[in-house]
């Protein structure tokens, strides 16, 4: 196995990348995604894999300095574990060859010699200049020639200026086993980055997108906002409390002397490599004007309902509309189902007029395992949703 060095992705890939695979990190322009390739290179070097790095846009020294700056890795350790074909080699080959055809042949020979003589396990290639020089077919042919020492794993990084059709070119014709596209959501500027696992040939995975942040040279899958809403006293604050590693709540005593949320609940979870923030809305109608503000930029909505209160269905439906949950991934958590006379799934679905793809879970919000199961489902819905 080759590891990406990104725990969330390695988990999704059930451990990592099978040896001999072809991997493409396809980056949208302007998206800070160079850490994907850098993390994979670091992981390979630290696991003792022998690597060939093809970096035609930079000198080896500049490349090592950049990788070290990005990941904090020791450049001498990378230099010791890899051989390089860099910008100097590209100019040498172009000058020596005279024609593109001859240059392609020299590239093919040099890569093959390096792989066979160094028993290279993994080729890391920054594809764009090879693509410019020889077209896609030519560039790929340099990296995927049959070699006597066994087929190395090939990891590519590419700047995708063509959007979706650019991805199709690779997946249709070049047997890319793992295609990860790295993109950003834009308003004026990128406001969140996300990667999309387009396909993995060895796994029956559906395409999924996951936001990420970078911190301390690492990529951390990140869900900046899941909103937890629901009618008053349905158990939202308890849900957030049970789900979170730590939490803050703004509440005060209500008329019945039990606390009620007056602004929001906040909860933070680090779960299965994801950093997740939960925002809980108040449930009382008098706070409805602040809910549209709370749900801005939310990536998903958990609707908590009291399954013993059919009279609150209309209110719950109103909150779905108010939190724009009809346009976002939505999961329903039916609370207090351990009590008698709770509603069944059919009654909840019809009462809330739910889409068929909305999961409904029967929980007790005081039980951590129940609540975490809802969060797991929410994350799954978010990663499958096209934003």
Partner 1 sequence: MYRYKSGIELLDKAMGGFDAGTNYLVLAPSMSSAEKLAIALSRPLSGEYSIILSTDERASEVIDYCKLTGSDKQFIGVIDAITKTSSPTVSDTQRLKFVASPTDLTGIGIKFSKMSEAIFEGSFSDDDSGLFPPPIRFCVSSVSTLLMYRNLGVMYQFLHVIIAKLKKMEAVGFFLLNNESYDEKTISLIKQLMTGVIEVKSEGGETYFRIIGILGIPPDWHKFRIEKGLVVMQQ
What is the binding site for partner 1 (CB under 8 A)? 27, 29-32, 34, 56-59, 61-63, 65-66, 69, 87, 126, 128-129, 132, 157, 159, 161-162, 184, 186-190
Residue position matching structure tokens 């039990």: 258
Question: Cα–Cα distance between 230 and 223 in angstroms, integer?
Answer: 20
Q: How far is the CB of 67 from partner 1 (least distance, A)?
A: 11
Q: If we measure between CA atoms, which residue out of 247, 197, 239, 250 comes closest to residue 375?
A: 239
Three-class DSSP category at 180: strand
Measure the CA angle with vertex 14, ends 10 and 16; round to 5°: 45
Question: Cα–Cα distance between 287 and 385 in angstroms, integer?
Answer: 29
Q: How far is the CB of 158 from partner 1 (least distance, A)?
A: 9
Q: Which two tokens stand for residue 256?
A: 């019945």
Give me the torsion for CA of 171, 176, 182, 186, rounded to 10°: 0
Specify the residue, 193 or 242, whose C-beta has the smaller distance to partner 1: 193
Count of beta carbons in the 10 Å neighbourhood of residue 138: 17
Which helix H or strand E contains 203, and what residues bound it? none
Give me the torsion for CA of 281, 284, 289, 293, rounded to 10°: 0
Specify the residue, 15 or 30, whose C-beta has the smaller distance to partner 1: 30
Specify the residue, 126 or 361, whose C-beta has the smaller distance to partner 1: 126
Q: How far is the CB of 110 from partner 1 (least distance, A)?
A: 19
Specify the residue, 30 or 259, whose C-beta has the smaller distance to partner 1: 30
Specify the residue, 57 or 202, whose C-beta has the smaller distance to partner 1: 57
Q: Read out DSSP for 228-293?
A: EE-STTSSHHHHHHHH-SEEEEEEEE-TTSSEEEEEEEEEEEEETTEEEEEEEPP-SGGGGGGHHH
Q: How far is the CB of 227 from partner 1 (least distance, A)?
A: 24
Q: How far is the CB of 26 from partner 1 (least distance, A)?
A: 11
Count of beta carbons in the 10 Å neighbourhood of residue 153: 24
Q: How far is the CB of 138 from partner 1 (least distance, A)?
A: 13
Specify the residue, 129 or 290, whose C-beta has the smaller distance to partner 1: 129
Q: How far is the CB of 75 from partner 1 (least distance, A)?
A: 9
With b for 16 or more beta-carbon neighbours within 10 A and e for fewer, the 76-104 pattern comes to: eebbebbbbbbbebbeebbeeeeeeeebb
Q: How far is the CB of 363 from partner 1 (least distance, A)?
A: 39
Question: Cα–Cα distance between 44 and 1 in angstroms, integer?
Answer: 10
Q: Read out DSSP for 16-58?
A: SB-TT-EEEEEE-TT---HHHHHHHHHHHHHTT--EEEEETTS
Specify the residue, 188 or 252, whose C-beta has the smaller distance to partner 1: 188
Q: How far is the CB of 269 from partner 1 (least distance, A)?
A: 26
Specify the residue, 214 or 238, whose C-beta has the smaller distance to partner 1: 214
Specify the residue, 126 or 274, whose C-beta has the smaller distance to partner 1: 126
DSSP 326: G
């Amino acid at each position: 196995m080759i590891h990406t060095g990104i725990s969330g992705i390695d988990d999704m890939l059930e451990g990592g990348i099978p040896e001999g695979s072809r991997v493409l990190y396809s980056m949208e322009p302007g998206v800070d995604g160079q850490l994907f390739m850098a993390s994979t290179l670091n992981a390979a070097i630290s696991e003792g894999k022998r690597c060939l790095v093809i970096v035609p846009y930079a000198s080896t020294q500049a490349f090592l300095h950049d990788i070290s700056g990005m990941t904090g890795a020791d450049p001498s350790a990378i230099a010791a574990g890899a051989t390089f074909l860099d910008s100097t080699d590209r100019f040498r080959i172009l000058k020596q060859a005279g024609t593109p055809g001859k240059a392609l042949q020299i590239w093919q020979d040099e890569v093959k010699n390096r792989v066979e003589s160094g028993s290279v396990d993994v080729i890391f290639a920054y594809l764009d200049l090879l693509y410019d020089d020889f077209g896609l077919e030519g560039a790929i042919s340099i990296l995927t020639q049959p070699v006597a020492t066994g087929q190395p794993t090939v990891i590519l990084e590419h700047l995708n200026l063509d959007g979706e059709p650019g991805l199709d070119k690779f997946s249709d014709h070049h047997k890319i086993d793992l295609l990860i596209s790295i993109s950003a959501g834009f308003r004026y500027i990128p406001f969140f980055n996300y990667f999309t696992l387009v396909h993995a040939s060895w796994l029956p995975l559906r395409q999924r997108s996951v936001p990420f942040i970078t911190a301390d040279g690492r990529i951390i899958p990140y869900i900046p906002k899941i909103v937890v809403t629901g009618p008053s006293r349905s158990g939202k604050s308890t849900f957030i409390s049970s789900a979170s590693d730590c939490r803050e709540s703004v509440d005060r005593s209500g008329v019945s002397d039990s606390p009620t949320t007056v602004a929001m609940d906040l909860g933070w979870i680090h779960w299965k490599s994801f950093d997740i923030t939960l925002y809980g809305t108040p449930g009382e109608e008098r706070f409805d004007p602040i809910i549209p503000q709370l749900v801005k930029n939310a990536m998903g909505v958990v609707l908590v309902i009291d399954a013993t209160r059919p009279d609150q269905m209309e209110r719950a439906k109103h909150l779905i509309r108010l939190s724009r949950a009809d346009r976002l991934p939505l999961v329903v958590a039916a609370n207090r189902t351990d009590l008698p006379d709770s509603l069944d799934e059919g009654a909840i679905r019809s009462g809330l007029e739910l889409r068929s793809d909305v999961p409904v879970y029967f929980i007790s919000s005081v039980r951590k395992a129940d609540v975490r199961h809802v969060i797991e489902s929410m994350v799954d819905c978010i990663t499958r949703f096209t934003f």
